[in-house]
Chains A and B, each alone.
Chain A
């Protein structure tokens, strides 16, 4: 009965209890929908980042620190063989490839553009662009002076499969070099920046242009993104033991955009959650203060019959707890229903830096619901604490005098 008594007290003032539940539920719903959106957006950006960088990249620290004035950071074939052996022994590695990136200038007619050229191994499953080709074809192993350009760059320079561009660069020796390239394919990517600035050519041709046999990084993809940190730790230990002077970085370390956006999302959700919690706290505080005050005589009676202060505190907090659990539960149910409805409607929006709108998606699940549920519960129980303490501290004789 001591468990049901607080619930019955709530049911006595149905209108007030319903208002309380609505406020707690609404706060939980908003927090849930925002968190679901943030989690899904973060996952989308994570996938994009992994698609751009792979799970891990191994290179000289000079490359990561961007301190080299020349190409001294390049990984030569003898070192590459040792790294390949290390990667082959790692069961969680799905695939790996090598790349050689360098800055260059392209010209098409009288228009020029500074770009970052990536020499990669055509046909290697790690970071394959095959699925992103929207016109023409992917690079093939037999290609030489062929290039894949991004959709946004193609639009800007009026390029199409078969178009010719001129690439100007500096070799590892510091000499200028230039070569004509034929556009064989146009790729799309979720990031407009990547589409505008990244060109892809065969690795062998890139090495030829730079006059080197080296590569600047080894790109590793894993079967499961959750294995990234553990795999990095093991690979780094192997690289250090072999004294190769190389460092492994994870995709999130390589993507400042993800870091910035992730921080922004954390702040956004934190702010909204805090605002909801504060709102719920003060409104429920007001409602429960009035509700408890109205029952001062009843509480005095309970104390007169021998209920301790702690007992009264427990009864009143139990009322807050009932409100908290039911209200937050309703909020989770409503938030989940709203999220599913949003997902079903398929509202499209364009995240910052993307080329095309994507379908607005809100994550639904127990892990997403847990934080908003706890937020509602904690805010409500905290809001009931002060009026419950006040009532429990009231002298019995004073409580009994209240009409």
Chain B
């Protein structure tokens, strides 16, 4: 059984859980609660969309569940392990092994080619060179960039860069991909293509996708939709139609 197939076999199993998740920032003498008492559960294979106005706490929530920030109160539990007690090194390993990140502004490493950017997470996994090359080639072909592997980020269009970022997030076969405004810098056609790709990968690889977006065109792909307002998370209904990827 392949690894991806095993993930699909686990579809529905709880992958991520937050309990009473709270984040407070100190601004001068004032404490600002960016997130307050958020309880959230995501199962393997979920495609979740988060939206909310600017400054509502979306990015803070994403930072906490991706283990790049620590909560002020409450906990994030990933596959049964609370991140609260984890060291920086353990959190880095958790991000490396279980989480893929897609940033709003791509965050590709400018001195590396498209293929090398995608290869970077595999280097952190210390995979052998032939296996790395094989996976990178397959992933870039999957996102439709098989011919552009040697191009640097500044030689790619916005849509192509985002595809590279998605390929980088998926190449190490994470259990969960977190995307922050993945279509914000793309035109509508490219944004649609990227979301179709994302949705297809969600189905084929059974990866948890949690996408923060303001874009209504993205929301139609969601199985579950959430809204964050003033640091509070509410689910908008889990019976929304799932968009076709065809």
Q: Do A and B bind each other?
A: yes
Are B68 and A306 interface neighbours, CB within 8 A?
no
Rounded to whole angstroms, the CA-CA distance of A303 and B89 in the bound complex is 10
The segment from A98-106, A163-171, A294-302, A365-373 that touches chain B is A294-302
Are B111 and A305 interface neighbours, CB within 8 A?
no
Binary A-proximity of B112-139 (CB < 8 A = 1, otherwise 0): 1000100111011000000000000000
Rounded to whole angstroms, the CA-CA distance of A250 and B45 in the bound complex is 85
Given contacts A1-B123, A396-B68, A397-B68, contact A305 B95 (CB under 8 A): yes
A15 to chain B, nearest CB (A): 16
Task: Judge whether A136 is part of the interface by a CB distance below 8 angstroms.
Answer: no
Question: Which residues between 271 and 329 of chain A lie within 8 Å of chain B, taking CB atoms?
Answer: 297-298, 301-311
Q: Which of A301, A310, A396 contacts B109 (CB 8 A)?
A: A301
Question: Which residues between 91 and 119 of chain B lie within 8 Å of chain A, taking CB atoms?
Answer: 92-93, 95-97, 101, 103, 107, 109-112, 116, 119
Task: Judge whether B204 is part of the interface by a CB distance below 8 angstroms.
Answer: no
Rounded to whole angstroms, the CA-CA distance of A303 and B63 in the bound complex is 13
A345 to chain B, nearest CB (A): 44
Q: Which of B66, B89, B101 contacts A308 (CB 8 A)?
A: B89
Are B111 and A306 interface neighbours, CB within 8 A?
no
> Number of residues in B with C-beta < 8 Å to the partner?
25
Are B92 and A307 interface neighbours, CB within 8 A?
yes
B66 to chain A, nearest CB (A): 7
Task: Judge whether A113 is part of the interface by a CB distance below 8 angstroms.
Answer: no
Are A12 and B107 interface neighbours, CB within 8 A?
no
CB neighbours (8 Å) of B120 from chain A are 1, 302, 305
The segment from A3-11, A65-73, A173-181, A191-199 that touches chain B is A3-11
Are A308 and B110 interface neighbours, CB within 8 A?
no
Rounded to whole angstroms, the CA-CA distance of A304 and B92 in the bound complex is 7
CB neighbours (8 Å) of B107 from chain A are 297-298, 301, 304, 400
A303 to chain B, nearest CB (A): 7
Given contacts A304-B101, A306-B124, A400-B68, contact A1 B116 (CB under 8 A): yes
Are A305 and B121 interface neighbours, CB within 8 A?
yes
Task: Judge whether B235 is part of the interface by a CB distance below 8 angstroms.
Answer: no
Tally the A-B contacts, defined by beta carbons under 8 Å: 67
Q: Which of A298, A305, A310, A396 contacts B110 (CB 8 A)?
A: A298
Task: Judge whether B69 is part of the interface by a CB distance below 8 angstroms.
Answer: yes
Given contacts A1-B119, A306-B121, contact A11 B68 (CB under 8 A): no
Are A5 and B96 interface neighbours, CB within 8 A?
no
Are B112 and A8 interface neighbours, CB within 8 A?
yes
Task: Judge whether B215 is part of the interface by a CB distance below 8 angstroms.
Answer: no
CB neighbours (8 Å) of B236 from chain A are none
Rounded to whole angstroms, the CA-CA distance of A398 and B95 in the bound complex is 17
Given contacts A305-B96, A307-B92, contact A5 B101 (CB under 8 A): no
CB neighbours (8 Å) of A400 from chain B are 68, 103, 107
Are B89 and A5 interface neighbours, CB within 8 A?
no
B residues with a Cβ closer than 8 A to A are 63, 66, 68-69, 88-89, 92-93, 95-97, 101, 103, 107, 109-112, 116, 119-121, 123-124, 168
Top 4 A-B residue pairs of the complex, sorted by shortest distance between their CB atoms: A306-B96, A8-B111, A397-B69, A301-B107
